[in-house]
Chains A and B, each alone.
Chain A
């Protein structure tokens, strides 16, 4: 394990056997937005062993911040922008905003994560999501934004349209490492919510810390 305080200037760690073997996987996954936790044990442990080297690498060559973070007691690594800008990923094709759908479903899953807080693995079936939409406190809003009409029940076709929206978003979350998708494209949705889903609250840290102010400004149309 490297001393974290030590200033690292070179890239010699890339010559280590284990790094050479997994470099491409780690680099491609991190740049595509992946949150790497111990579920990807071999990759995670290489990041951990050369943490300071990797951080230097991304700082110098990509102007990105490799963050070792802890979400709900689970360590994980991901790349983030520095406050000063998007570094070498400034080009519009190299970064993207979470879509509205992703933001809403992300917040929904974050809420569901806490509904299963004491379960070791937060396994979600499509039925759990249906229940959220039909029974939870937010049911009115869910129905309005997912079906465009608020009713007690919806037909199969309507559900299938909603499921395909979820499917698309869950696939993108799977790539981010926020969930671990178990079902294949033609099966009913089944996945595990990973602790990295908390990244969402980190993205909205400013708004959450000063929520009252944010909400006031928002309502007054200042934003």
Chain B
């Protein structure tokens, strides 16, 4: 990407000011077009043109070719290769003038938008024989030019409409009393809107049709891909690839047309607004223009009776003033301000709650006690397993629950024994799906034997 800073630096060389060659280039281009001078022109002709320019634009002196020549030779003039005493305009020079002419002349003015669309975006069903053909015709790079035509066309439409609003507003400002004359003038300007609105609608229709057709073409690629399961692998990959490329082309154009739609909507909204205003105006033209006239006179009278003051203006001679509803709802409150007054920290000694401490300690002791008992029971159970070679869990739990009067101890012992048994390969756990409920306890378990 080029640095824009270079544009600032070389601006005078790229676009020389009026009398430093700007007018000269336009005049030479004009004369070549008119056949008054040759494509390759001489210093004598240049000097004559410079003289004409100074007369036409009432300059005190004639700009000297020698003074501006060096700068113009950067981008605008070249020597004839065989006859170096002759010059010609570069393509850049011609393009610059063309660009200016186009901006003012508006080549799209008498060219319907619909036609621009149809010339650039037309698709014949049979012509897209492969994805390459589609990309060459509508791919991102290849469609640039067509897009530009549409964008330029829309821009020129905006320019044209802006001029028309100005014209309409100007007509409205006229002090013309005769409503019929005004309406006639409005209608003349307004006819343009009607034609443009219709053109835009047609253009949108042809755009929609194009997108439809393009979608059908993409669909063909899709179908091909969809049916390719019987083909060999490279063929399948190619078909998928084709479809994806097609989809990309479609997505790109869809994006472009979305932006076109946005622009068109703005233009349409403006046209509609102006048209509404105009029909309102026509319906009540005489009353409104009478009313407007009254207000104008009223305003004039008010201005005549107004006097300057330092702080504003005042009315003289008792020009009437009008009251409005004005009940201001606001609450006045002092702003919060930190006065930075320090208050000393008072430490409050909280007396120990002995009851609470005692109870908490009791809980801890009980917890430790439980832990001990569990450990004892687990040790006992392991011994039993050693000596008897068998443990029946429900019986063990019943014994513990009975002695300790705490089912949770029994439960924890049982779970530790089961996990011990599952870790030791010599110990086998035998579970029968026979539900056993412990007496007086709200717990049930499968019949479980642990054998060694």
Contacts and interface: CB of A to CB of B under 8 A. Distances in A.
A114 B292 contact: yes
Interface stretch (A13-21, A45-53, A184-192, A199-207): A199-207
B270 A103 contact: no
Nearest to B306: A145
Interface string B157-188: 00000000100110011000000000000000
A81 B325 contact: yes
A138 B300 contact: yes
A42 B169 CA distance: 33
A207 to B, nearest CB: 7
A22 interface: no
Contacts of A93: 327-328
Contacts of A116: 169
Interface in A67-101: 73, 78-81, 86, 89, 93-101
Contacts of A211: 294, 297-298
Given A110-B295, A141-B303, A104 B329 contact: no
A16 to B, nearest CB: 22
Given A96-B326, A141-B303, A207 B298 contact: yes
Interface string B288-317: 000110111111111111111000111101
A119 B298 contact: no
Contacts of A176: 324
Instruction: Please indicate which of the listed interface residues A80, A100, A110, A215 has the most CB atoms of chain B within 10 Å of its own CB.
Output: A100
Instruction: Among A93, A119, A141, find the residue whose CB has the most chain B CB atoms closer than 10 A.
Output: A119
B329 A28 contact: yes
B318 interface: yes
A98 B315 CA distance: 12
B44 interface: no
A155 interface: no
Contacts of A221: 317
Contacts of B172: 114-115, 117-118
B115 interface: no
Interface residues of A, number: 55
A129 interface: no
B319 interface: yes
Contact of B302 (A73, A99, A107): A107
Interface stretch (B273-281, B357-365, B414-422): B273-281
B313 A97 contact: no
A115 B169 contact: yes
Contacts of B325: 30-33, 64, 78-81, 89, 94-95
Contacts of A145: 303, 306-308, 313
A95 B303 CA distance: 25
Nearest to B314: A100
A223 B317 contact: yes
Contact of B169 (A30, A73, A99, A118): A118
Residue of B168, B305, B326 with most chain A CB atoms under a 10 A cut-off:
B326
A118 B301 contact: no
B322 interface: yes
Interface string A110-127: 110011111110000000
Q: Which 3 A-B pairs have the closest CB atoms?
A: A101-B312, A141-B303, A203-B322
27 contacts: A32-B327, A78-B325, A93-B327, A95-B325, A95-B327, A96-B324, A99-B312, A100-B306, A100-B313, A103-B315, A103-B322, A104-B306, A108-B299, A111-B295, A111-B296, A116-B169, A118-B172, A118-B273, A141-B303, A144-B308, A146-B308, A147-B308, A208-B291, A208-B298, A211-B297, A215-B297, A223-B320
Interface of A: 28, 30-33, 64, 73, 78-81, 86, 89, 93-101, 103-104, 107-108, 110-111, 114-120, 138, 141-142, 144-148, 165, 176, 201, 203-204, 207-208, 211, 215, 218, 221, 223
Given A64-B325, A120-B273, 11 more contacts: A31-B329, A99-B312, A103-B322, A118-B278, A138-B299, A138-B300, A138-B303, A141-B304, A146-B313, A176-B324, A203-B324
